[in-house]
């Protein structure tokens, strides 16, 4: 039996305004909350028990878990105050049943990946590591934590968000999934915020612990920004990212209760949530439309997220934008390149151009 801790307590600030009502891991991705993809992947890899480390809007997780059977035991641990990634892992300790030398998986709640989870656990056990980290190579590592390893796969350093060329010593980054020997979790300080990336891991290296890295070159995406959120959802729908929780692979996914107008074209892995009304002649390509939205005739929506119950007027052009829940966008508007509309905002019927760069 393997236990896991899933860290889902962050505020998801980069995905605002979507995360005002719903915590990031509970936003629907390819038709189900993102957390469901992670829990079912872990379940299929042999994990039998998951502790959800919640903080921000914990009640949303509780309601969902109480009402859905995911075929695995899910326990909810809620921090009174956010304790950071390391503090959240330590806070989950009393909820774990593993012995001190047994492996405990830890997942960040916003990473979509094709990682061989069982393989990482096997590596951890056979190498007798204290902690094993999933690493992935990226083209531009500046926004991430770099994790160089030696020829035996032992981690030699942790470098958070390197900027100078001298600091960029590897393209391997911390991919947000770890295996801890349970006794290592015991030693994380309690009662205060702790960052696993900035404090726990560097501290373990200093103390001479065996921290190993496993590089996996398969699918990996951090769903933390609007564009990557849309990308991840579309990749799941099109079968480019693996998950047992996608209802059907194809060029688009339409949930029950939605009505798609004549000549409307859905493509690029678009998800249309339930009870959505898509007008005639719309083009929706590479987008995520949440439940209950109404899209007017002839609207063109690409690379965008349309919030729950929002109304998009006919003929609108929306590209690379986030429309908050319940917002109303009048006919003929253009919202481009990074535009974000707050929940319940109303934009009148004009042909105004809304764009973050206004170019």
The residues assigned a catalytic role are: 161
* 8 binds ligand GTP per the rule CB under 6 A: yes
Binding to ligand GTP, residues 211-240 (CB under 6 A): 224
What's the min distance (Å) between Cβ of 4 and ligand GTP?
A: 13
One character per residue 266-305, x = contact with ligand GTP (rule: CB under 6 A): ----------------------------------------
Q: Does 196 bind ligand GTP (CB under 6 A)?
A: no
Exposed, middle or buried: residue 139 (CB in 10 Å: 0-12, 13-18, 19+)? exposed
Residue nearest to ligand GTP (CB): 10
Q: Which is nearer to ligand GTP, 93 or 297 (CB)?
A: 93
| CA gap 300, 319 in Å, rounded | 8
Contact partners, residue 255, CB within 8 Å, separation at least 6 = 31, 247, 271, 272, 273, 274, 276, 291
Minimum distance of ligand GTP from residue 188's CB (angstroms): 13
- The neighbouring-strand residues paired with 347 are 329
- Take residue 25 and report the two structure tokens written for it: 């891991």
Contacts of 55 (CB under 8 A, 6+ apart): 9, 10, 78, 79, 81, 82, 83, 88
- For residue 223, CA distances in Å to 25, 116, 260, 301 come to 9, 19, 28, 20
Q: Which is nearer to ligand GTP, 110 or 325 (CB)?
A: 110
Q: How far is the CB of 222 from ligand GTP (least distance, A)?
A: 7
Minimum distance from CB of 230 to ligand GTP (Å)? 15
Q: Considering only 75-83, 98-106, 201-209, 270-278, which stretch makes contact with ligand GTP by CB under 6 A?
A: 75-83
Nearer to ligand GTP, 144 or 290 (CB): 144
Cβ at position 155, least distance to ligand GTP in Å:
19
Closest separation in Å from C-beta 45 to ligand GTP: 18
Q: Is 246 in the site for ligand GTP (CB under 6 A)?
A: no
What secondary structure does DSSP assign to 2-55, as a single string?
EEEEEE-----GGGTTHHHHS-GGGSEETTEEHHHHHHHHHHHTTEEEEEEEE-
Triad 60, 260, 306: Cα angle to 5°: 40
Convert residues 11-40 into a mask of x (bound to ligand GTP by CB under 6 A) and - (unbound). Answer: xxxx---------x----------------
* For ligand GTP, the closer CB: 13 or 163: 13
Sorted by sequence, the CB contacts under 8 Å of residue 166 that are 6+ apart come out as none
Using the minimum distance from each CB to ligand GTP, give the nearer residue, 38 or 271: 38
- CA atoms of 91 and 255, how far apart (whole Å): 37
Radius of gyration for the chain, computed over Cα atoms and rounded to the nearest angstrom: 21
* Residue 359: Cβ within 10 Å count: 7
Minimum CB distance to ligand GTP smaller for 7 or for 159: 7
Residue of 289, 319, 282 lying closest to 302 (CA atoms): 319
The one among 79, 199, 235, 319 contacting ligand GTP by CB under 6 A: 79
**Which of 262-282 are b and which e, b meaning 16 or more Cβ less than 10 Å from the residue's Cβ?**
eebebebbbbbbeebbbbebb
Tokens of 209: 């612990």
Q: How far is the CB of 35 from ligand GTP (least distance, A)?
A: 10
Site for ligand GTP (CB under 6 A): which residue of 28, 33, 53, 309? 53
C-beta of 14 vs 198, nearer to ligand GTP: 14
Tell me how many residues contact ligand GTP (CB under 6 A). Answer: 22
Q: Which of residues 80-139 bind ligand GTP (CB under 6 A)?
A: 82-85, 88, 108-110
Query: 5 has which bridge partners?
Result: 51, 106
Residues that bind ligand GTP (CB under 6 A): 7-14, 24, 53-55, 79, 82-85, 88, 108-110, 224
């Amino acid at each position: 039996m393997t236990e896991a801790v899933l860290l889902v307590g962050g505020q998801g600030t980069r995905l605002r305004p979507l995360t005002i009502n719903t915590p990031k891991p509970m936003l629907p991705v390819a038709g189900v909350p993102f957390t469901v993809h992670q829990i079912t992947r872990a379940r299929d890899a042999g994990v039998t028990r998951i502790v959800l480390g919640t903080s921000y809007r914990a009640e949303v997780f509780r309601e969902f878990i109480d009402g859905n059977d995911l075929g695995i035991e899910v326990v909810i641990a809620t921090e009174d105050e956010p304790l950071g990634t390391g503090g959240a892992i330590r806070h989950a300790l009393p909820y774990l049943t593993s012995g001190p030398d047994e492996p405990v998986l830890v997942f960040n709640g916003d990473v979509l990946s094709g990682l061989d989870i069982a393989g990482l656990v096997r590596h951890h056990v056979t190498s007798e590591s204290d902690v094993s980290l999933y690493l992935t190579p990226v083209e531009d590592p500046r926004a991430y934590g770099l994790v160089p390893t030696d020829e035996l796969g032992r981690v030699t350093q942790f470098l958070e968000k390197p900027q100078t060329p001298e600091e960029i010593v590897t393209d391997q980054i911390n991919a947000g999934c770890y295996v801890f020997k349970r006794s290592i979790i015991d030693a994380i300080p309690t009662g205060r915020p702790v960052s696993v990336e900035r404090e726990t891991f560097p501290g373990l290296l200093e103390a001479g612990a065996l921290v190993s890295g496993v590089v996996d070159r398969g699918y990996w995406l951090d769903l933390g920004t609007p564009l990557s959120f849309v990308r991840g959802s579309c990749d799941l729908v099109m079968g480019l990212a693996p998950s047992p929780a996608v209802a059907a692979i194809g060029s688009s996914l339409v949930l029950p209760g939605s009505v798609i107008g004549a000549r409307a074209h859905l493509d690029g892995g678009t998800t249309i949530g339930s009870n959505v009304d898509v007008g005639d002649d719309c083009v929706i390509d590479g987008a995520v439309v949440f439940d209950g939205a109404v899209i007017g005739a002839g609207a063109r929506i690409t690379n965008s997220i349309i919030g729950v119950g929002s109304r998009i007027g006919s003929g609108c052009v929306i590209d690379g934008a986030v429309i908050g829940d319940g917002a109303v966008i009048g006919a003929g508007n253009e919202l481009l390149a990074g535009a974000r509309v707050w929940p319940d905002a109303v934009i009148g019927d004009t042909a105004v151009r809304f764009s973050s760069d206004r170019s």
